[in-house]
Amino acid sequence: MDAVLSETNNLAKEIGNLMKSGKKDEAEKLKITNAELKEKAKILSDKLTPLEEEQNNVLLRLPNLPHASVPEGKTPEENIAVLEWGKTPALPVDALPHWDLIKKYDIIDFELGNKITGAGFPVYKGKGARLQRALINFFLDEATSAGYREIQPPILINQDSGYGTCQLPDKDGQMYFMNEDKLYLIPTAEVPITNLYRDVILKAEDLPVKNAGYTPCFRREAGSWGADVRGLNRLHQFDKVEIVQISKPENSYELLEDMKKHVQGLLEKLELPYRILRLCAGDMSFASALTFDFEVYSAAQKRWLEVSSVSNFETFQANRLKLRYKVDGKTQLLHTLNGSAMALPRIVAALLENNQTPEGIKLPQAISKYAGFDLIN
RNA sequence: AGAGAGGUGUCCGAGUGGUUUAAGGAGCAUGCUUGGAAAGCAUGUGUGCGGGCAACCGUACCGGGGGUUCGAAUCCCUUCCUCUCUACCA
């Protein structure tokens, strides 16, 4: 293919020279030869293009390879708990789940959300709204102290960005899509913040890159409605602070540990009992090589709620993003990592349930400082 | 939303069909020069794909996509984006 093109290029040059020196007849002859070559090239490229497209389509649908430390398994039951922290609070027998508490104290309103939007879009009111704001500020300040640069990205993204972080084609149909403008509502800040570095070649001395941002997140959750989705457990719109790192391949797992520690610190300051799971291969997302999930124990529901997911994507996203750096004059793919730090709704659920008292809900100090109140009553 | 002007390498910027193999400048890197630096001089300096141990060779890329032509940064179509003016507006 390239050889044929090379020949046509050379002939075109020759024709140019002949035309200049006035040898029109010879030039005309070459034109015919070249036309034949072009035909050949077209046939070759007609064969090549569909093959390349097919290869591309297959590759786009191939998930990442799990890291060697990922346990085998297909279902969440096969995830492995690697750490547990904190004590389950002893609640009175009449302890309420959060969906009752939010009504009792009138702080989150699903019916109003239903009216103005639909199911899964709650309205936060009064101390409920202020608690949201407090948590967001708390999480962002903690990220800043940990060396992350705060980013406020757009919450609509284009198709290229969707492919960059691998939500597309895998999660097509799970994102809200504006057909008029061909834009998607982000399911996580990971998408815009990581895509800042699409088609970028970084300098080695700028690594690692650490960014964090708060955004609302939107998920259609098509097909996942059913049991265990009451109250704040699963929403179409929720708030989240996301931390994102870009790393040299050799230290990405070290950084993953740092991110894990950061999330642990947040939960400990919030005084919420939690555990960390090493996800089994079957429960990991499409793009991830290794994922740790964080779950807090919701005492009134008597169940674990996922509040954070920290992953190393190795070169999987970087390959699609064309995110690279230079080593010894050669370009090399970087590693991308991200983690929720953290998603609000289930944190709120656990805070409400675990801290309920006859007087009201007593907020831990870390958050009452931000909220400006320590009791919801 | 309407009218006009634009989009060229890391940056600025020239280029309206054939030595553009993208001028020129800046930046950066290396070397020479220097006591050291600056200046000066010299050389080098994009990405993808294919081939090669390598030096290197081939090919594609001048916002994106398509077309005309033996030959396109240059001409045509289409689309996105930026700027100016007008309109509107938190």
Question: Exposed (0-12), middle (13-18) or buried (19+): which is A92, by Cβ within 10 Å?
Answer: exposed
Does residue A22 surpass a pLDDT of 70?
no
CB of A356 within 8 A of CB of A95? yes
Return the DSSP state at A70. P
Residue at token pair 């642990």: A264
pLDDT digits (tens, 9 = 90+) for A244-286: 999 999 999 999 999 999 999 999 999 999 999 999 999 999 9
Q: Report chain B positions within 7 A of protein CB atoms.
A: 18, 47-50, 58-60, 70-71
Tell if A19 CB is < 7 Å from nucleic strand B. yes
ipTM of the complex: 0.80
Instruction: Tell me the pLDDT tens digit for each residue of A47-75.
Output: 777 777 777 778 788 889 899 999 999 99
Work out whether strand A237-247 and strand A335-343 pair parallel, antiparallel, or are unpaired: antiparallel
Q: What does the pLDDT average to over A104-111?
A: 96
pTM for the predicted model, two decimal places: 0.90
Separation of A50 CA and B67 C1' (Å): 20
Place A287 in a pLDDT band, splitting at 50, 70 and 90: very high
Round the average pLDDT of chain A to a whole number and report it. 89
pLDDT at A105 over 80: yes
Grade residue A146 by pLDDT with cuts at 50, 70 and 90: very high
Interatomic distance A304 CA / B17 C1' (Å)? 70
Q: Is the dihedral of CA A275, A278, A282, A287 positive or negative?
A: positive
From A84, A143, A76, select the one nearest A274 (Cα to Cα): A84
Cα gap A360→A367, rounded to integer Å: 16
The predicted structure's pLDDT at residue A276? 97
- Note the CA–C1' distance, A322 to B62, in angstroms: 21
A13 touches strand B (CB under 7 A): yes
State whether the beta carbon of A178 lies below 7 angstroms from any atom of strand B. no
The token pair at A238 is 């929720």
Given the structure tokens 């050799």, which residue do they identify?
A250
Tens of pLDDT, residue by residue over A305-337, are 999 999 999 999 999 888 988 877 778 899 999
Label residue A360 left, alpha or beta by phi (over 0 means left) and psi (-120 to 50 means alpha): left
Residue A42, CB, strand B, below 7 Å: no
Q: Which position has the higher pLDDT, A345 or A55?
A: A345
pLDDT by residue (tens digit) across A164-187? 899 988 888 899 988 878 889 999
For the CA of A231 and the C1' of B1, the distance in angstroms is 43
pLDDT above 70 as % of chain A: 97
The candidate with the shortest Cα–Cα distance to A231, out of A296, A171, A300, is A300
A31 touches strand B (CB under 7 A): yes
The rounded distance, in Å, linking the Cα atoms of A172 and A182 is 13
What is the structure's pLDDT at A89?
A: 84
Is pLDDT at A228 greater than 70 in this prediction? no
Residue A227: pLDDT above 70?
no
How many Å from the CA of A200 to C1' of B9? 15
Residue by residue, DSSP assigns A142-202 as HHHHTTPEEE---SEE-HHHHHHTT-TTTTTTTS-EETTTTEEE-SSTHHHHHHTTTT-EE
Dihedral sign, Cα of residue A311, residue A312, residue A318, residue A319: negative
